Chain A
Amino acid sequence: MQQVNERPAPQPFALGRWLRRFGTLLGFLGVVAFFWWQKPTTFMTISNWLNITQQVSILGVVAFMMTIVMVMGDFDLSVGTMASLAGIVAALLFQREFPLWQAVLVALLVGMAGGLLNGLLVSFVGISPFVATLGMLTVFGGVALSISSGKTIFGRAIPEAVGGFAQGGLSLSGIGLPAVSIPNLTLLALGVLVVVWLLLEQTVFGRRLYAIGGNREAARLAGVRVRILRLIAFMCTGLGAAIAGLMLVSRLSSANPTQGDGLMLNAIAAVFLGMTMSEEGEPHVLGTLVGVLILGVLNNGLTQMRIDSYIQQILTGGIIILAVTLSSLSRRSS
Chain B
Amino acid sequence: MSLAELLTVAGASKSYNGVPALIDASLHLLSGEVHALMGENGAGKSTLIKLLAGVVTPDRMQVWVRGRAVSLSSARAAFDLGLRFIHQELNVIPQLSVAENIFLSQSYPRLAGVFVDWRKLNADARSVLHMLGVTHLDPRTLAARLSTGDQMLLKIASAFLGAERTNAAIYVMDEPTAALSSGETEMLFAVINSLRKQGCAILYVSHRIDELFKIADRVTVMRDGRTVATMPLAETSPEKLITLMTGRDLQQVYPTRENATPASPLLEVRNLSTHAAKAITFTLHAGEIIGIAGLSGSGRTELLRALMGADRIRAGEIRLSGKRLSRYSTRGAWRYGFAFVPEERRTQGLVVSRTVADNVTLPHLGAISRGGILLDSLRAQSLSETLGASVRLRARGPDQIVRQLSGGNQQKIVFARALAGSPAVLLLDEPTRGVDMGAKVDLYRLIRQASARGVGVIIASSDLPELIGLCDRIMILQNGRLVDTVQAAGLTEAGLLTLCYGAEMHSAAG
Contact = CB atoms under 8 A, between A and B. Distances in A.
A218 interface: yes
B330 A223 contact: yes
A279 B403 CA distance: 12
Nearest to B19: A9
B348 interface: yes
Interface string B381-421: 00011001100111111100101000000000000010000
B170 to A, nearest CB: 29
Interface string B339-368: 010100001111111100010011101100
B329 interface: yes
B387 to A, nearest CB: 9
Interface string A206-229: 111011001101111111110000
Contacts of B93: none
Contacts of B394: 1, 3, 6
Contact of B330 (A1, A205, A208, A220): A220
A225 B331 contact: yes
A173 interface: no
B17 A11 contact: yes
B352 A222 contact: no
Nearest to A205: B373
A177 interface: no
Interface residues of A, number: 34
A306 B439 CA distance: 65
Contact of B352 (A14, A208, A215, A223): A215
A205 B365 CA distance: 9
B334 interface: yes
A221 B348 contact: yes
B372 interface: yes
A186 to B, nearest CB: 27
B336 to A, nearest CB: 10
A14 B17 CA distance: 9
A9 to B, nearest CB: 6
A204 B349 contact: no
B335 interface: yes
B402 to A, nearest CB: 9
A218 B366 contact: no
B358 to A, nearest CB: 6
Contact of B358 (A8, A210, A221): A210
A224 B363 CA distance: 7
Nearest to A226: B330
B374 interface: yes
Contacts of A203: 369, 373-375
B333 interface: yes
B363 A1 contact: no
Interface of A: 1-3, 6-9, 11-12, 14, 202-208, 210-211, 214-215, 217-225, 279-282
Interface of B: 17-19, 308, 310, 329-331, 333-335, 340, 342, 347-354, 358, 361-363, 365-366, 369, 372-375, 384-385, 388-389, 392-398, 401, 403, 417
Given A14-B17, A221-B342, 4 more contacts: A1-B389, A7-B396, A203-B373, A211-B351
27 contacts: A1-B398, A3-B392, A7-B396, A11-B17, A12-B17, A203-B374, A205-B373, A207-B361, A207-B365, A208-B365, A210-B354, A211-B358, A214-B352, A214-B353, A215-B348, A215-B351, A219-B362, A220-B310, A221-B310, A221-B330, A221-B349, A222-B363, A223-B331, A223-B333, A224-B330, A279-B401, A282-B353
